[in-house]
Amino acid sequence: MDSVRDRIRTASRLVVKVGSSSLTTAQGMIDVDRVDALVDVLAARRGTGTQIVLVSSGAIAAGLGPLGLSSRPRDLATQQAAASVGQGVLVARYTSSFARYGLRVGQVLLTADDMMRRSHHVNAQRTLGRLLELGIVPVVNENDTVATDEIRFGDNDRLAALVAHLTRADALVLLSDVDALYDGDPRRPGARRLGDVRGPEDLVGVELGKGGAVGTGGMVTKVQAARIATGAGVPVVLTAAAHAAQALAGVDIGTCFHPDGRHPGTRLLWLAHATTGRGRLHLDPGAVEAVVGRRKSLLPAGVTAVEGDFAAGDPVDLCGPLGRVVARGLVNFDAVEIPGLLGRSTRELATSLGPEYERELIHRDDIVILESHH
């Protein structure tokens, strides 16, 4: 049997993500029948002993109707106001729907910043784990009311992939308004469904569409999410919300993304996909070769310039001579300290500034290579 579908069918812990367009009416109101239909499927699987984490979009969409808005607002403040109203509507609906099966839900709102800051990240992991131990169905969403334009997921696909890794899920199911990934616009004749994606070569020449009027994602974000999850060893199936029951049963529908066998530590996955560089360090060719080619630590001697305002411990992007980001790492010094260190050896710095400067700018264990990420 196909390994991805088999793993989903037998999974003891599943993360299921559903998009806004699969939960709401065209007018932006929560569609009670669609929510109940999804919960029917999840509760049935929960009844077999499988733990379910639901990553649900729909807060902003659910707030449009109550606020009298005819379409998704473009400005962040109104989006956040809609999310504030809509999140309560959304969770109340899930609470009521799951209660039909004697199941309780717990709301978990996360920001990208929660994933970026190590202490928040570990705390989210503990909270989700404890909710599952207690038999609760966590309902996870991005905390749209406080997320900023600069630091936000912007869609729940990437968040779902990180939650799947965070909770050590056996599989991730992405439910959309499209039944699979196609090699072109599925509304056009001749578009071919991709049943399996085993690596980047399977996506060559594939056109990826953007999100619709209510949601923010689209196939681009779903493929990115699948790459994050499979890179962490988590298999993914992508299909329509209407096919949720078949997907969870391991039926041959949708698109399966196969894990690539690598299992990076949480730290490196977090650094690559849940962080945004707070600044940039520009490297000379020798430093790029040392960091990317030989996986060495970054020393001050190889840095030619520094950009941004960051503190020790923050993630920063490492750029090659042409400005292309090649890696990201957790820096050991504040931005204001670094210009005085550039081009000098650690031994020389220790002699002139003190022994605390006889160390790398970024240790190799705190660097993730991003060549394939960009």
Residue 296 annotated as binding?
no
Residue 55 annotated as binding?
no
Residue 195 annotated as binding?
no
Residue 119 annotated as binding?
no
Residue 219 annotated as binding?
yes
Residue 217 annotated as binding?
yes
Residue 10 annotated as binding?
no
Residue 221 annotated as binding?
yes
Q: How many CB atoms lie within 10 A of CB 43?
A: 18
Residue 17 annotated as binding?
yes
Residue 308 annotated as binding?
no
Residue 266 annotated as binding?
no
Residue 157 annotated as binding?
no
Which residues make up each annotated binding site? 17, 57, 144, 156, 176-177, 216-222
Binding residues for ATP: 17, 176-177, 216-222
Please enumerate, by residue number, every residue annotated as part of a binding site for substrate: 57, 144, 156
